[in-house]
Structures are given as C-alpha cells and as structure tokens.
C-alpha cells in the first residue's frame, strides 16, 4: 500500500484525490477502469452523505458509487 493513500470515501465534499491503487477482484477493477477510475486520474467528491453513495466527478463525468466500492479506491489528496 502507498504510505499516504487513503480510501476515496474518506475525502470530504470539494476535496480532490489522485487515484494510486484499486484493491479488489479482477471484475471490479476492470469495471472501475472502464468507468475511468485508473491510476493517476483525479477524482473530486461532489456529495458525500454519511449513509448513502458518493457523488463524484472524474474526467468531466459525474457518477454515483457505493461507499463499499469507494473504500477499495485509494487516493492521495490533491
């Protein structure tokens, strides 16, 4: 694991992170890559409520991802 990497779900609304690692099975990793979640991509948190999914912006596209999946995407704050 990268020393200063944290799960995407730990970022607050308005914060950005650079993806450094995705932990998961091949299917999940492939699906996230197809959605644009690749190493070095910048993700911005738009909405993060305590219990619901995260609304994020990546490569100019807004999308919602579940909190469990966001825990497998490790980022470095930007």
Instruction: Read off the CATH number of the domain in which 69 is found.
Output: 2.30.30.90
Please report the pLDDT score of residue 24 as a whole number: 94
Cα gap 46→31, rounded to integer Å: 21
| Contact criterion met (CB below 8 Å) for 32 and 69 | yes
**Which residues pair with residue 43 across a beta bridge?**
17, 58
Q: Is 71 within a domain? A: yes
Q: Is 13 within a domain? A: yes
Note the pLDDT tens digit of each residue in 5-54. Answer: 999 999 999 999 999 999 999 999 999 999 999 999 999 999 998 888 99
The model's pTM is 0.93
Note the pLDDT tens digit of each residue in 62-76. Answer: 999 999 999 999 999
Please report the pLDDT score of residue 49 as a whole number: 87
Q: Is 17 within a domain? A: yes
- Give 57-66 contacts, CB < 8 A, sequence gap 24+: 61/36, 63/35, 65/8
Eight-class DSSP state of 9: G
Which helix (DSSP H) or strand (DSSP E) does residue 5 occupy? none
């Amino acid at each position: 694991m990268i020393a200063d990497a944290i799960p995407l779900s730990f970022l607050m609304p308005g914060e950005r992170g650079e993806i450094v690692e995705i932990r998961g099975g091949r299917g999940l990793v492939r699906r996230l890559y197809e959605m644009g979640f690749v190493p070095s991509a910048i993700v911005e948190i738009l909405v993060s409520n305590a219990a619901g999914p995260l609304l994020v912006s990546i490569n100019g596209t807004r999308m919602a991802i579940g909190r469990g999946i966001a825990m497998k995407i490790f980022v470095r704050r930007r």
